[in-house]
Structure 1
Amino acid sequence: MSGENGLQRIYFSEAMKKRLTFLIRSLENGGAEKQLITLVKNLDQKKFDLSLICFYGGGVLEKEIEKNSHIRLISLEKKGRWDLVKFWYRLFFYITEIQPDILYGYLGASHLMTILLKIFNPSTLMVWGVRSSYVDFSRYDWLESFIFKLQCFFSRFADLIIVNSYAGRDYHVGHGFPNSKMIVVPNGIDTDRYQPKPDLRAKVRSEWGVARETFLIGRIGRLDPMKDYPTFLKAAALFYKQRKDARFVCVGSGTDNYLDELLQLAKQLGIAEQVIWAGSRSDMPAVYSALDIACSSSYGEGFPNVIGEAMACGVPCVVTNVGDSAWIVGDTGIIVTPQDPEALASALLSCGERNLDEMGQKARIRIVENFSVDQLVKQTTEVLWQKV
């Protein structure tokens, strides 16, 4: 009897499985892309038949998907911005072949694709994944602003909009997104991967030429205007005036032009020798563990993964009050107003005088209890199954 019941349960599960397809521009090294991979890898194979379609192939994070044979990875081999006809043909071909029950567009341009495809696939649940809050479009290419305006208009045709932060929800509702279709599902932090690595702390510091007794403050994130590295550097200069035992590390990549601007600013501030430009790193738990304090100086965020990751690694955080940063940190760190170098420097100095080990322990507990991958997967699964 138990064997028959087991077979029946398996059969029922297979019969009820939903074809879930994600659509994203690329799998380059970014916070949203990493979060998508975390979600896809952990979704229940018994509930979903999973596919992931990328506009552009060759992203550095693709190898994470390739390790999972149950996830079908498809590249549309887009050649550039204006490679539209062949791109659309390939997209239409694969969607017709897969016939997804749910098409989940991740980030701007992918959202618009779901609306076009809805014309030909009216029974497919079209889902948007919104990953940002405030964006200063004056700092970006004109196309970014245009795509956002199109999203604001066409958002009424999406079936469901999943946003990763309350700040992001409020911002988009304020720009015309339908509140009735929006639901907040916070990011999930892999606390098994992101945990303190005291054995690697000295190794990473040695690579950077940082002594054990040096006070090290890290700014983690891509070199992007929204991350406001200039404010971080100005705060670092003020901090260094008070504590000569300090050094600062910036971990992330960006355009050569923007990096040159930041290098010049560090030189003008007199801290060029105190700032380490580490570029992108793949061993982030070890990188976080090398820090005494992690700092986020952004003036625009949704749910910043780097804050949750640093906290999971037991590192106290000083962050600007943007997006859901304050909610993530809670009472385990210090929150300051954005674009205020003096306030940021003061907060860093105050944090440095506290019991950092105790703060770090509280920070990790907060992430484990409130922002786990299990919660991300559970909430996403429940939302999708309720709607499909």
Structure 2
Amino acid sequence: MKVLFVITGLSTGGAEMMLIKVLEHLDRRRFQPYVISLSPLGELAPRISALGVSVRSVDMKGGLSDMAGFVSLLRMIKTIRPDVVHTWMYHADLLGGLAARLAGVKAIGWGIHNSNLDADKTKLSTRAIVRLCAFFSPWLPRLILSCSEQARLIHIEKGYAAEKMVVVPNGFDLMRFKPDNNARHSVRKELGLMQDVLLVGLIGRFDPQKNHAGFFRAAGYLLEKMPSVRFLLAGKNIASANSNLLQMAKDAGVLENCHFLGLRDDIPRLMAALDVLASSSDGEAFPNVLGEAMASGVPCAVTDAGDSAVIVGDVGRSVAVGDMRGLAVAMQELLCLSPEEKQSLSEKIRHRVLSHYEISQVVRDYEDFYIHLTQDNGPKCF
């Protein structure tokens, strides 16, 4: 079966990384994948090519107004002649879905990887695309895959066809993300820290929804109780060159306790070095960093954004969105566990990922999704 993935772009992000994991674990005896990016190829394109997967770009620069790009997309789809088209993210859902339908493809599935559509956090153009997708959802896609239950509910509220929605969570590779004492030691050595220093991490790009300013406030509250804690931050634009980021940390009085590492390619190593992973987000769907930390045996203190509280369950701590003092308390509780309690909790955390979010099983659910797309008999419960 030929499966064509159409995605808005291939820069580093949660949805894009999940696409790579699907491609890595897809059963190639049954499925032949292709990838088309609407925007110019980003840094993840070489990783896809290295998997032996054809990846091409439409090189669209004008969004909905780029008719030449749309025609190019239509031609690519006709050339590939896929059995299934799975689109990822709003622009790809709309443009990829329309192009696939015009190319004669009936088995079209949309992909939703966002749950915050608040006006102050989402661009006007994106919200306009969402409204168009809601209008077309009753007839354009055969099924709509959401990576989280919260995202499913929010999009139904926005007018998406509820009867077409299915939920498949993100998945995680427990061989790649795992406890590693060597990583714990080497990261502290890299940062010039003593081996017994407690390290709290926030991994994610610099974006309003990630709420870095809120995290720094929570860090400030935590330092009042535990002044020796250090904070490791990594992700796109998380670097000393980002003056806005540094000012946020300075305003909260935590700059001297922070390490800004920028975009890294050793995230499994960084995760395994942490004592706690924090998520201060105002908006999420299914944050990959939580599953990655948990697979590494690291407890998470999170805001209840998207499915975050569901993901960490009873082996983490969750607080209301915006409650940074509560987030500080949650981090402190996890940091103050005894060594025996930490070890027991670490094992339970990793088992939760194995039971609910192991990548091989999640990709089997994706494969079931593609099979159901070819069957014109409505949604299925996977």
- TM-score bracket for the superposition, by shorter chain length: over 0.9
Superposed displacement of residue 117, structure 1: 1.9
Superposed displacement of residue 256, structure 1: 8.7
* Structure 2 stretches lacking a partner, 5+ long: 375-382
The residue type paired with residue 98 of structure 2 is: L
Please state whether the residue corresponding to 2:32 is helix, strand or coil.
Answer: strand
Task: Report matched runs for 1:305-344 at 5 Å.
Answer: 305-344=288-327
8 Å CA contact retained: 2:108, 2:373: no
Deviates more, 1:322-331 or 1:176-185: 322-331
Please state whether the residue corresponding to 2:220 is helix, strand or coil.
Answer: helix
8 Å CA contact retained: 2:85, 2:100: no
Structure 1 pair 205–257 and aligned structure 2 pair: CA distance change class (3 A): closer
The residue type paired with residue 307 of structure 1 is: L
The residue type paired with residue 166 of structure 1 is: E
Matches of 1:240 and 1:86 in 2, distance apart? Answer: 55
8 Å CA contact retained: 1:133, 1:300: yes
Please state whether the residue corresponding to 1:103 is helix, strand or coil.
Answer: strand
User: For this pair of structures, how many residues does the alignment match?
Assistant: 370
8 Å CA contact retained: 2:240, 2:246: no
8 Å CA contact retained: 1:196, 1:285: no
Matches of 1:227 and 1:387 in 2, distance apart? Answer: 34
Are 1:387 and 2:370 matched, yes or no?
no
How well do the aligned residues superpose, as a CA RMSD in angstroms?
Answer: 1.9
Matches of 2:205 and 2:324 in 1, distance apart? Answer: 19
Matches of 1:35 and 1:143 in 2, distance apart? Answer: 24
8 Å CA contact retained: 2:240, 2:260: no
Q: Deviations over 1:70-108 (max 9, x none)?
A: x21112233454771331222111111111111111001
Task: Report matched runs for 1:359-374 at 5 Å.
Answer: 359-374=345-360
The residue type paired with residue 10 of structure 2 is: L
8 Å CA contact retained: 1:53, 1:76: yes
Q: 2:117 maps to which residue?
A: 135
Superposed displacement of residue 265, structure 1: 2.1
Are 1:357 and 2:357 matched, yes or no?
no
Q: Which has the greater radius of gyration? A: 1
Matches of 1:31 and 1:102 in 2, distance apart? Answer: 23
Are 1:253 and 2:239 matched, yes or no?
no
Structure 1 pair 110–81 and aligned structure 2 pair: CA distance change class (3 A): closer
Matches of 1:255 and 1:203 in 2, distance apart? Answer: 21
What is the percent sequence identity of the aligned residues?
33
Q: 1:120 maps to which residue?
A: 102
Matches of 1:257 and 1:101 in 2, distance apart? Answer: 47
Superposed displacement of residue 41, structure 1: 2.1
8 Å CA contact retained: 1:223, 1:258: no
Q: 2:379 maps to which residue?
A: none
Superposed displacement of residue 19, structure 1: 1.4
Q: 2:130 maps to which residue?
A: 148
Are 1:266 and 2:249 matched, yes or no?
yes
Are 1:172 and 2:155 matched, yes or no?
yes
When normalised by structure 2's length, the TM-score is 0.92
When normalised by structure 1's length, the TM-score is 0.91
Q: 2:214 maps to which residue?
A: 231
Structure 1 pair 255–203 and aligned structure 2 pair: CA distance change class (3 A): closer
8 Å CA contact retained: 2:109, 2:373: no
Deviates more, 1:150-159 or 1:30-39: 150-159
